Amino acid sequence: MDHAADITASLREVMREHPAGVVIVTVVVDGRPWGTTLSSFTLASLDPPLVLFCLVSTTTPARAILQEGAFGVSFVTAQNVDVARVASAAGRPKFLDDLAEAPYHGAPPVLRACRGSLTCRLENAVAVGDHTAFIGSVSRVITGPGGPPVAYCDGEYRLLKLT
Ligand SMILES: Cc1cc2nc3c(=O)[nH]c(=O)nc-3n(C[C@H](O)[C@H](O)[C@H](O)COP(=O)(O)O)c2cc1C
């Protein structure tokens, strides 16, 4: 294995055991809500309110976000793990028509029944290697029904418990 491939393999391994919160980013694709499960989401700034995530540049949602200029973010709890699995199924369409709030006034779709959701306007997109870093300004915060928090670690969704 050459040095770069060695680093990639080691990085994959160390990141695999790094626990991460999970969101589903939603965007309109062919007029329908499409959801993609992400762990790279974070708050980038509170004032002004900006969020950030990285998505493989060649994917359907990455292209759609650039085209639409807007996206939704829904926070995953233990009750949404089945949806997160659907929204990360490789090589399959990830339309979530039955789970999305009907978009209104041109707002991007978000999912019902998550811990909460954001609607965001795309502020900037920066190519970062094989991913694109998307920065969005938060236009709306929607409070959801809540639910037990989960983290993704070592290939599994794990319930977070306080000790
Ligand atoms: C928990 C979890 C987190 C993920 N986080 C990201 C991420 O941050 N960025 C990314 O590009 N893909 C991420 N993925 C992969 C995507 O959800 C999806 O599986 C991938 O884009 C393949 O879909 P495609 O075959 O339609 O391109 C994650 C998958 C899982 C299960």
**Cβ of residue 129 lying under 6 Å from some atom of ligand 1:** no
Report yes or no on 5 lying in a domain. Answer: no
Report yes or no on 4 lying in a domain. Answer: no
Cα–Cα dist 146/77, whole Å? 7
CATH of the domain at 124: 2.30.110.10
Report yes or no on 154 lying in a domain. Answer: yes
For position 31, what pLDDT does the model report? Answer: 92
**Cβ of residue 57 lying under 6 Å from some atom of ligand 1:** no
- Which parts of 33-135 fold into alpha helices (H)? 60-68, 81-86
**Cβ of residue 29 lying under 6 Å from some atom of ligand 1:** no
Choice from 23, 34, 37 to test ligand 1 binding pocket (greatest atom count within 8 A of CB)? 37
pLDDT per position as a tens digit, 72-94: 999 999 999 999 999 999 999 99
Report yes or no on 48 lying in a domain. Answer: yes
In percent, the amount of the chain with pLDDT more than 90 equals 87
Can you give the residue range of the structural domain that contains 46? 21-159
pLDDT per position as a tens digit, 105-124: 789 999 998 999 999 999 99
Report yes or no on 145 lying in a domain. Answer: yes
Report yes or no on 57 lying in a domain. Answer: yes
Cα–Cα dist 31/23, whole Å? 22
Report yes or no on 9 lying in a domain. Answer: no
Report yes or no on 147 lying in a domain. Answer: yes
Q: What is the total count of domains within the chain? A: 1
